[in-house]
Amino acid sequence: MQEQIKYDYLTNYPIDEVGVEERVARLNSRSIKKESKIQALKLALSMIDLTTLEGKDSPGKVIQLCRKALQPHSELPGLPSVAAVCVYPTMVPVAKKELEASDVKVASVSTAFPAGMVKLSAKLEDTRFAIEQGADEIDMVISRGEFLKGNYNFVFDEIAAVKDACGDVHLKVILETGELGTLENVRKASFLAIHAGADFIKTSTGKISPAATQPVTLVMLEAIRDHYLETGKMIGMKPAGGIRKAKQAIQYLVLVKETLGAAWLTPEWFRFGASSLTNDLLMQIVKQESGIYQCTDYFSND
């Protein structure tokens, strides 16, 4: 039977933006040093969905990205691989082949990413195609226009239909928070996505500014927490876009640790949608272990 839902996700959940920003600022004041820093850097590395989503993507580029995913930095052989490689559906087979023998997942965007401005049947077709090509995870976009119109049922049904098409394949639902305007909308969209079947909720496509921000991420984490406490069901979180520096990544991990706790501090429940973050993490790891500040020339740019 349907899980018991004790609240209506459509009711307004008041959020004070200044309060959220103050909370984020306070969490950002955590000073992560020494062992805890190295641990965080490696953890962040293992959580990356290494992403390339450009019209000019080629098999060569994707192959290069997959090699980086498997072995982020050859000089430091003990490092974890990243969590996944995230590409367009047509690039899925290329990535799948490269990553076959590893634990690195292949994620594919779908549902007419990034705008999603096509009819549902096309979105489902897009999704089925990506899965047929071998995608382990699907990153879909919601219809922001319908959401802002107040057409929540439409958005819900779309997500539910895509989830249906996914079957066991993990579904990440991109809210594109940069277009939702308010944190209250972020909260509402989070609950809507969760109830419609999302395994993960994700901030952004990376094509709209602002992409992921910490206030938005905190609100989404709190939605996940409240849902967990109400139902016992864990949902994953993926901030994406704009996270380029190791310091930012650590700040995000602090948000997760102090909102959801230790259980979410794994690639199974938390991901970074990013690409350039990888090298900054690597540079910081080498710096931590050697004590010497690093230069980008020594880190492969894939």
Partner 1 sequence: MSDRIEVLKTYKTYIGGKFPRSESARTYKVKDSKDNIIANACRCTRKDVRDSLTAARSAFPGWRNRSAYNRGQILYRTAEMLEGRKDQFVKELTNTGFNEKNAGRETETAIDRLIYYAGWTDKYQQVFGTVNPVASAHFNFSNPEPTGIVGIVAPESSPLAGLVSMIAPVIAGGNSCVVLASQANPLPAISFGEVLHASDVPGGVVNILSGYSDEMLPHLSSHMDLNAIWNTISNKKTRKQIDENGALNIKRVLHTVNHIWLDDENHNPYYILEFQEIKTTWHPVGN
Partner 2 sequence: MMSDFSNTTQQNEDQVNGSEKPTSPNSGLRLDFSSFWEYSDAPESKDHVEIRDRYEHFIGGTFTEPVKGRYMKSYNPADEEVIAEFAEGTSGDVDSAVKAARKAFGKWSKIQPKERGKYIYRLARMIQERSREFAVIESIDGGKPIRESRDVDVPLAAAHFFYYAGWADKLEYAFPGRKAEPLGVCGQIIPWNFPLLMLAWKIAPALATGNTVVLKPAETTPLTALKFAELCRDAGLPDGVVNIVTGAGQTGSSIVSHPDIDKIAFTGSTAVGKIIQKLLAGTTKKYTLELGGKGPNIIFEDAPLDQAVEGVVNAIFFNQGHVCCAGSRLLVQESVADKFIQKLRDRMETLIVGDPLDKNTDIGAINSKEQYERILKYLEIGRQEGATIYQGNNSLPEKGYFCKPTIFTNVSQSNRIVKEEIFGPVLTIQTFRTPDEAIEKANNTPYGLAGGVWTDKGAKIFKTGAEVRTGVLWSNTYNKFDPASPFGGFKESGLGREGGLHGLYPYVNLKQT
Question: Which stretches of the chain bind partner 2, using CB under 8 A?
Answer: 1, 3-4, 6, 12-16, 18-20, 22-23, 26, 29-37, 39-40, 43, 222, 225, 228-232, 253, 257-258, 260-263, 265
State the Cα–Cα distance between residues 202 and 169, nearest whole angstrom: 16
16 catalytic per annotation: no
The answer to whether residues 190 and 224 touch, using CB atoms and an 8 Å cutoff, is: yes
CB of residue 242 vs partner 1: minimum separation in angstroms? 19
Nearest approach, Cβ of residue 16 and partner 1 (Å): 6
CA distance 206 to 32: 27
37 or 188: whose CB is closer to partner 2?
37
36 Cβ neighbours under 8 A, 6+ residues apart: none
Q: Which does 8 bind (CB under 5 to 8 A by kind): partner 2, partner 1, none?
A: none
Task: Tell which residue, 271, 249, 266, has the closest CA to residue 203.
Answer: 271
Q: What DSSP state is assigned to residue 253?
A: H
Catalytic residue among 123, 163, 172, 202: 202
Which of 176/280 has CB closer to partner 1? 176
Residue 209 Cβ vs partner 2, minimum distance, rounded to whole Å: 26
In terms of CB distance, is 150 or 261 closer to partner 2?
A: 261
Minimum separation from the CB atom of position 182 to partner 1 (A): 5
Q: Which does 119 bind (CB under 5 to 8 A by kind): partner 2, partner 1, none?
A: none
Instruction: Please say whether the beta carbons of 65 and 298 come within 8 A.
Output: no
Q: Which is nearer to partner 1, 17 or 164 (CB)?
A: 17
Return the one option of partner 2, partner 1, none that residue 41 interacts with (CB less than 5 to 8 A, by type): none
Identify the helix (H) or strand (E) that includes residue 252: helix 246-259
Least separation, in Å, of the C-beta of 20 and partner 1? 8
Q: Is the dihedral of CA 266, 272, 275, 280 positive or negative?
A: negative
Give bridge partners of residue 115 from the DSSP assignment.
none
Q: Whose CA is closest to 35, among 43, 47, 27?
A: 43
Sign of CA dihedral 224, 229, 231, 236: positive
State yes or no: is 207 an active-site residue.
no
CA distance 49 to 297: 23
The amino acid present at 144, given as its one-letter code, is R
Q: 39 is in the binding site of which of partner 1, partner 2, none (Cβ under 5 to 8 A by kind)?
A: partner 2
Peptide bond into 14 cis (omega under 30): no
Residue (156 or 270) nearer to partner 2, CB: 270
Please tell me which residue in 49, 136, 139, 280 is annotated as part of the active site: 139
Among partner 2, partner 1, none, partner that 154 touches (CB below 5 to 8 angstroms by kind): none
Residue 139 designated active-site: yes
Judge residue 3's burial from the number of C-beta atoms within 10 Å of its C-beta, 0-12 exposed, 13-18 middle, 19 or more buried: exposed
Of 105, 163, 238, 280, the active-site residue reads 238
Footprint on this chain of partner 1 (rule: CB under 8 A) = 16-19, 21, 181-183
List the catalytic residues.
139, 202, 238
